[in-house]
Structures are given as C-alpha cells and as structure tokens.
Amino acid sequence: MDITRIENMKGGWFIGNFEPSVWKTDKFEAAVHDYKKGEEKEPHYHKLGTEINLLLKGKFILRNYDGKGSSQELNEGDIFIIHPNEIADPIFLEDCKIMIIKTPSIPGDKYLIK
C-alpha cells in the first residue's frame, strides 16, 4: 500500500505523465481543484486533450468562445466535457471543487488566451 496526501502533489494533479504523481501514465491525468468565489483563471484551451469534469461543490459560469459568445451555468453534480480547441473561461459564483480527468496526458498541452 502507498499513501500520500494531495498537498504533496502539484496544483491538485495526482495521476498523469508528470512528477510528482501517484500513478505515472500518458493515458490520462486526474486532479481535484478548489476555486474561491470570484477567483479568476486565465482562459485556456488544449490542442489535444479532452477534459471530463465533475463539479463536486459550488456553482460557476463557464464561458465558451464558440463564436456565439455562449455560456453555461454549472451546478453541483454537473458533468461537463471540454473538447480540444474549446476555450474555457470560468466565472466562480461560489466556492467550487472540481474533479478533472484529462486524456491523454501530454505535458505542455495548455494554451493561455492573452
């Protein structure tokens, strides 16, 4: 048996093709992220990776730059998928906890929108 703590991982990521990780694989990445109400994240996208997300706690708006300026309010229990080249830009309405699975695990496949 191996035991560690999420605090020993980098940014909540604990499985994937990076160090530190509890299970190194290029097939997928897994993380749990906490966000505070009003916290701002830079809009970003992945060229190759698909993110499957589960909102464990909270509520936020996910803006998506699909040419229509669409956005979606997400609530606790919602599962949402962000496909390659979709730009995600969250607005946290409450404190949130999100479980993230990204496949495949490709270091550096995150592109910020300036």
Return the ∠ at Cα 27 (arms to 18 and 58), rounded to 5°: 75
The reported pTM is: 0.90
Do residues 85 and 47 make contact, with C-beta atoms less than 8 angstroms apart? yes
Region 82-94 average pLDDT: 94
- Say which amino acid occupies 11: G
Instruction: Give pLDDT tens digits for 45-72.
Output: 999 999 999 999 999 999 876 656 678 9
